[in-house]
Amino acid sequence: MLEPALRMMRCPKCQKTLHLAQTTMMTEEVIEGNIICDKGHRWQVRDGIASMFHPGSPTQHIVDRTQFYRDLLGIDMDKEKERLAAYVPIEGPLRVLDTNLGSGSTYAALSRQFEREMGRFNLHGIDSSFELLQATRAMSREKGFNLTAVHGNVFNLPYQSDSFHLVLAIGSINQLADKAAALREMWRVTTPEGHVLIVDEGLSPQMRKSDAGNEILKKRPSFGARPPIPDVPDKARDLEITYVMKDAFYQLVFRK
């Protein structure tokens, strides 16, 4: 992880400020060691990844279904993620958090579109699979962009409030036991005027009535999910629901 990233982070146990302790570094990157908070809680950094799960142990990783969607719906998820460019300002720095980092395909899509501008992106990602985070960090180095990867929990994000211009949850919200808690945390770490963007399985009202929609539901009932509107924080603004990718997924966006 990059040393400057610590300024955006906080201890997930007590919310105090974090500091480096007993670390092995390469330029500004912490490779191995520990970070410690003002109250003495320690968190390990291994292979450049901070392990900051609290409370409890890592939950089961949310499976990447890119190939499944291609086979079932004829959708190229990697290509579809390039639509996120609509939420990237024309100029200026942008801090982004992916709360379901997975294979890093979302950031790979951004790097394809903004290849010559990746220096203005400050990219962070959370995932429950340490091994997958290792592979994703290797991918980011290969493609030439910096990524702060954290082994953490969407219900208790180890970041200061008002940290990110854009917070993402692609293909993960439907599977969470407490959607409201996750959305509150995503809203908390978003900057004023920043966006929270959620995309997940959920047929549009029109698609639900169609023969094609019924076939999809027979093969995968989870496409019957609906946007988690009741779970959006009360203070969220400009809530917008659209249906994307052949009307098979909902896209929920709101601002802080």
pLDDT in tens, 184-193: 999 999 999 9
CB within 8 Å of 209: residues ≥ 6 apart: none
Query: Would you state the pLDDT for residue 155?
Result: 94
Residue 19 CA to chain centroid, in angstroms?
24
Question: The pTM is what?
Answer: 0.93
CA 209 from chain centre, in angstroms, equals: 32
Within 8 A by CB and 6+ apart from 86, the residues are none
Which domains are seen in the chain, by residue range? 1-52 (no CATH), 55-255 (3.40.50.150)
pLDDT digits (tens, 9 = 90+) for 15-56: 999 998 876 666 667 888 899 999 999 999 999 999 998 886
Residue 159 has pLDDT above 80, yes or no: yes
- Taking only the tens place, the pLDDT of each residue in 211-233 is 999 999 999 999 999 999 999 99
CA 39 to chain centre: 28
Q: 54-63, 70-79, 106-115, 203-212 — which is least confidently predicted?
A: 54-63
Report the amino acid identity of residue 34: N
Output the CA angle 128-199-253, nearest 5 degrees.
115
List the one residue out of 11, 20, 21 whose CA is nearest residue 41.
11
Span 84-118, pLDDT tens digits: 889 998 888 999 999 999 999 999 999 999 989 99
Q: Does the pLDDT of residue 167 top 90, yes or no? A: yes
